[in-house]
Copies of this chain bind each other. A is one copy, B any other.
């Protein structure tokens, strides 16, 4: 999960989108896509296009609702299926968990256009390499104890998707419910409920209406 919004990269991406939009050869080369909450990105579309998330949050599911990552505003999705163990084409499921506005750019058009503007491909490469590093950073949690893994995941969720209210305090958005916390932290729903209760008793988190305020949990 990308812990920081890279506003510099996002600025470059916005300029690129504008340029691609102005130079598109057909309406399919660059277009806006809207996803409703709980709608998945079409796998056929994923193969042929790259995506820039303008607003909203998408969760990456690897097998049967198993949440492994979140993608949000300013991030780029450039992926292609691999052959996995069953020898079949495999891709994660990319599911909108809020309504999303996405710019869809045809890979073919993009790769052609990048031959004139190689800096665009460099940008997508840089953002893809960043995502890989953030996924690696997140995987540190699998070597931790259950408590540590839970707290690490909760801190990540707050840091990445929460609204910052103080220096190290974040309010989790409502769409990050207990099920999502359990799936992302690889703990059970029962454990999640118990741990949240304990953290609240200790004053590390607080319920603010239906939201969770995370005030003193580190990674």
Q: Name A residues whose Cβ lies closer than 8 Å to a Cβ of B.
A: 3-4, 60, 62-64, 66, 68-69, 78-86, 90-92, 111, 114-115, 118, 121-122, 124-126, 128-137, 139-140, 142-143, 155-156, 159, 183, 186, 218-219
Contact = CB atoms under 8 A, between A and B. Distances in A.
A26 B123 CA distance: 25
9 contacts: A4-B83, A66-B140, A82-B133, A84-B137, A84-B219, A85-B218, A86-B219, A91-B133, A143-B183
Nearest to A85: B219
Assembly of this chain: how many copies?
A: 2
A79 B91 CA distance: 22
Contacts of A79: 129, 132-133
Given A125-B78, A128-B132, A90 B219 contact: no
Contacts of A85: 3, 155-156, 159, 218-219
Contacts of A115: 118
Given A3-B82, A68-B139, 15 more contacts: A3-B83, A4-B83, A62-B143, A79-B133, A84-B137, A85-B218, A90-B137, A92-B133, A118-B118, A118-B121, A124-B125, A125-B125, A128-B128, A128-B129, A142-B186
